[in-house]
Structure 1
Amino acid sequence: MAPVTEVAFLPVRPGVNILDTSIPEGQVMDNMLKVGKVAPGVTKNYYAVEEENASHVHLLLDWESIEAHKTYQARPEYPEFLAAAHSMIDPSQIAEGCHVYFDPHPPSNALYSPVTEILRAYFFVEKVQKEGLAFEAGLKKLLAALKAAQVAGYTGEVSSGWSVEELPRDGKQYKLFVAFIGWESVAAHAAASKTDVFLENVGTISPDIITVSHATFKSP
């Protein structure tokens, strides 16, 4: 049984400050973090709000195994816990959750960078073995080149992996590739993307869906 990370994307209603414990949503989030910290089978948890969109919340839990998470989900109090989490979600948006075997595990070094780039690349299931793996290889090649060239602002910390589960979107099934990439700042990432090293090594494979954002992760 290998350690795994639960990756949750929670789009909350616009204007809600999820870290404000004086409002119901903030109280739910605070309780989720406290419960997650001591849940049997959890070794670490992390949370962050996107720099680009304060309504986008990321919650991660390192579990001893998927089996440990499933055991926790079978506890009698879990449905109430899950319902409280769903109460924060903007019903017009798509919330997602999956398990990822990150390499390296745990992903904490990348997550504890001053700023973490959150790259989420979706591929149709049937395209993972060719286009998906080529995209992953291209990203790793790019990041290795940035590290070798000591490009300013890149911390050299990265952790990535594929979702264990298939994720439904618009009636289609996808696999999700997630990469957490460490930067000194959002501006540093922007500057690095204009360097010759970046432009000469950036991959050419386009995912079916891709999102890139930034956040500063913390652990309760």
Structure 2
Amino acid sequence: MPSPVTECATITLKPGIDLETSGTDSAQAWSETLSTVAKQAGYQRSYWGRQLENPNIVVWLIDWDSLAAHQTFMASPSYQPFAARLVSLTENVHLHHFTPSVFPPSIIASAPVIEFATFYDTKPVFVENVKKFQGVLEQAKARGVADAYLGWVWGEDFRSKRSEENNGLSADLLPPVIEDIAKNGASEGKGRAVRLCIGWTSKEAHMEFRETQFFKDNIALLREGVGSAEVHHVAFKTV
């Protein structure tokens, strides 16, 4: 049975684009964009928000029944008008897919802020350490060191166990991002990536946790077996 997937669109808006103010041309175009996707077969739900660090960048996450469902939409007659409408708002759009460990990834909708972290060029040891770091956060919350932590989702690999084990990798140690991707959507230097979506009460509360000794004693887990990383904060809205 096909696995559900989450499409991730990282959208760099043209300067001055207003998606939130009702009645503006750009807000109307954005509303139509969201509506078009919501009508597609295999669509489940979506969430979007601006990066708090760079509000000109929007992250749009779309839950699909399967990767094939999204691909069917991309091959349909309605896709080109949809893409043209989106392009009118943007300078750049980067797309990829990942498979959340919990589906639907409800923490994305329920947490006030998501720490949206992407780790590039990852090795199997990194995925092992991700699981360990999740335990660290749960322990920190139990001890009262990370009261602002609300939960997280990362992912499990879309690809088949047989094909990956033929390449010498255990299927339970694979990263959640389906396509090989590079930092900033670059076409060169692509590799396996891991996505973490960690819920916090606020960006400030997350940054305060990063200053604790508990965090400093354990962050090395996320620095082994990884080439580079990007971390942003997004307050997602459910469509």
User: Above 0.5 in TM-score?
Assistant: yes
Find the aligned partners of 1:148 and 1:183 in 2 and give their Cα distance: 15
Q: What TM-score does the superposition give when structure 2 sets the normalisation length? A: 0.80
Q: Which residue of 2 aligns with 1:215?
A: 234
Q: Which residue of 1 aligns with 2:101?
A: 103
List per-residue Cα deviations over 1:11-70 (Å, max 9, x = no partner): 112332222343333222111112222321111111111111110101111111111112
Q: Which moved more, 1:170-179 or 1:101-110?
A: 170-179
Deviation at 1:195, TM superposition (A): 1.6
Deviation at 1:110, TM superposition (A): 3.6
CA RMSD for the aligned pairs?
2.0
Q: Which moved more, 1:143-152 or 1:46-55?
A: 143-152
Q: Which residue of 2 aligns with 1:144?
A: 135
Find the aligned partners of 1:195 and 1:143 in 2 and give their Cα distance: 16
Match of 2:90, SS state, is: coil
Quick check: which one's strand share is greater? Answer: 1
Deviation at 1:177, TM superposition (A): 1.8
Give the conservation status (yes or no) of the 8 Å contact 1:110–1:159: no
Q: Which residue of 1 aligns with 2:120?
A: 122
Aligned residues: 210
Find the aligned partners of 1:158 and 1:192 in 2 and give their Cα distance: 19
* Identical-pair percentage: 28
Deviation at 1:137, TM superposition (A): 2.9
Deviation at 1:170, TM superposition (A): 4.9
Match of 1:173, SS state, is: coil
Find the aligned partners of 1:67 and 1:147 in 2 and give their Cα distance: 35
Q: Which residue of 1 aligns with 2:81?
A: 80
The reply on whether 1:159 has 2:136 as its aligned counterpart is no
Deviation at 1:87, TM superposition (A): 2.1
Q: Which residue of 2 aligns with 1:62?
A: 63
Question: CA separation of 1:140/1:14 partners in 2, compared to 1, >3 Å: closer, same or farther?
Answer: farther
Match of 1:138, SS state, is: helix
Match of 2:61, SS state, is: strand
Give the conservation status (yes or no) of the 8 Å contact 1:112–1:218: no
Give the conservation status (yes or no) of the 8 Å contact 1:111–1:180: no
Question: CA separation of 1:217/1:122 partners in 2, compared to 1, >3 Å: closer, same or farther?
Answer: same
Find the aligned partners of 2:151 and 2:73 in 1 and give their Cα distance: 35
1:184 pairs with one of 165, 186, 201: 201
Question: CA separation of 1:206/1:56 partners in 2, compared to 1, >3 Å: closer, same or farther?
Answer: farther
Match of 2:154, SS state, is: strand
Deviation at 1:191, TM superposition (A): 1.0
Deviation at 1:178, TM superposition (A): 1.4
Give the conservation status (yes or no) of the 8 Å contact 1:146–1:197: no
Q: What TM-score does the superposition give when structure 1 sets the normalisation length? A: 0.86
Question: CA separation of 1:112/1:118 partners in 2, compared to 1, >3 Å: closer, same or farther?
Answer: same
Gaps of 5+ in 2: 156-174
Question: CA separation of 1:4/1:146 partners in 2, compared to 1, >3 Å: closer, same or farther?
Answer: same
Gaps of 5+ in 1: none
